Amino acid sequence: VLGGIKRIEIEVNENIIRELLKIFPYAKVDTSTTNSIELLPKSFKDTVLKIIIEERDEPFKALIKAIQIFKDNSST
């Protein structure tokens, strides 16, 4: 996840990848070279970073919280 010039590596599993692709269907998963998820919106990455900084959560927990926030926002 990139937040400005910060790069945060977060280990994810297939379930997390599926959830991200449901919310952001245009995102791309690159497992062959960079092993990254690309084209996530800046607002999502900023949310993850904000949770890490403000709530002092581990990156994986922050990612889960951000996914839930965006799922809740997309269903309303």
DSSP-assigned letters across all residues of 7-48: E------HHHHHHHHHH-TT-EEETTTT-EEE---HHHHHHH
The β-bridge partners of 30 are 36
Per-residue pLDDT of the chain (76 residues; tens, 9 = 90+): 555 566 788 999 999 999 999 999 999 998 888 888 999 999 999 999 999 999 999 999 999 999 999 999 877 6
β-pair partners for 7: 2
- DSSP symbol at 1: -
What is the pTM assigned to this prediction? 0.85
